[in-house]
Amino acid sequence: MAYDLDTRLVIGLAASALFDLSESHQVFMDQGEAAYREHQLAREQQPLRPGVAFSFIKRLLALNDLSPQDPLVEVVLLSRNDPNTGLRVMNSIRHHALDISRAVFLQGGDPSRYIQPLSISLFLSANEDDVHRAVQQGYPAGRVLNSAYEDAFDDQPIRVAFDFDGVIADDESERVYQQEGGLPAFFEHETRLVQTPHKPGLLQAFLLKLAHIQSLEQARHRDDASYVPRLKISIVTARNAPAHERVIYTMRNWGIEVNEAFFLGGIEKRRVLEVLQPHIFFDDQTTHLIPTAQSLPSVHIPFGVVNDTSG
C-alpha cells in the first residue's frame, strides 16, 4: 500500500534552509560547479552545521511521537544537488538524528515542480529564485533569511508566528491599503466586511495542518492531564482595532484557534517577537523581516501587492 502524504503535514525543504551551506555556496560562486563537487565529496563525512530552519524542523518532527505508527509530519528534502554531492546532506541529517528519510535530488532542476505531487504544505529554501518561481505558480513557499539564531533545544513548546495579510490570508485588504486610500479606506473596508472571511493565502493550508496537530494535543491533554501541549501558534500583525475583528472572525470560520494574537497597529514587530521568540516567523514584507532575522528564524513569503515588482 502506498504511503499517503495527503493526510500529513508535509514540509519540502531545500538543504539551504536546513543547513548552513555558506562555505560550499561560496566555493560554487567563486570557483564553479566542478570545484563545488570536489568540495562536497571531500567533506562527505563532515557534518554540516544547522541552518535557519533546523530548529523549527527538529521540533516539528518531535511531534510525531503523538502518532508513532502513523506520523503526522513528513519532511522531504528537495535538493538542487545531484545524488553524489547530496550524500553529504543525507549524512548530515543522520548525524543530527533528524527523522528525514525521503529525498529528491534534481541536479540543478526546479524543485517547484514537485510541490504539488508530494502534497507539500510548505516549501522552504534560501534560494530566492526557487521560492519566487513556486509562489508565482500559487504554491506555499518561503525564503529563509540569514540569521545568527541558535536554539538551546530546551523543552519549551515549538512556537510558530505568522503575519496575517499576504501570508495566511490573501492580499485583498493590503491592496485596499496600498492602492485605494491608505488607512481610512482600509478601516472602512474591514469594518464593512467584518464578518466576511478572508480568502485563503498561500500558508492557510499549512496553518490548518498545524491546527489539526494542536487539536490532537488538546485531546491528549484531556485524556492525560500530565501531558503539556508543545505547539503554540501566534499571529503578529500590523493591524489594530477596528481591523482586528475580521481576523478573529476569519480564524473562527476556518476552525482555527490561535494561542496568541498581537494587533500592533504599526509598532515595530521586532519588539514583540524578541520576547515571543518564535522558532520561525513568516511575513510578506522584508521591512519587518530584516530586523527580526538578526535574532530569530525569519521567512519571507514573496506574495501579493507588496511584492509586486511588475510596475
Q: Which residues are catalytic?
A: 163
d(CA 166, CA 162): 10
CA diameter of the chain: 63
In terms of Cα–Cα distance, which of 182, 178, 181 is closest to 311?
178
Is residue 238 within 8 Å of residue 183, measured between CB atoms?
no
Q: Compute CA 260 distance to the chain's CA centroid, rounded to the nearest angstrom.
A: 18
DSSP type of residue 200: B
Residue 142 contacts residue 56 (beta carbons within 8 Å):
no
DSSP bridge partners of 142: 124
Letter for the amino acid at 139? Y
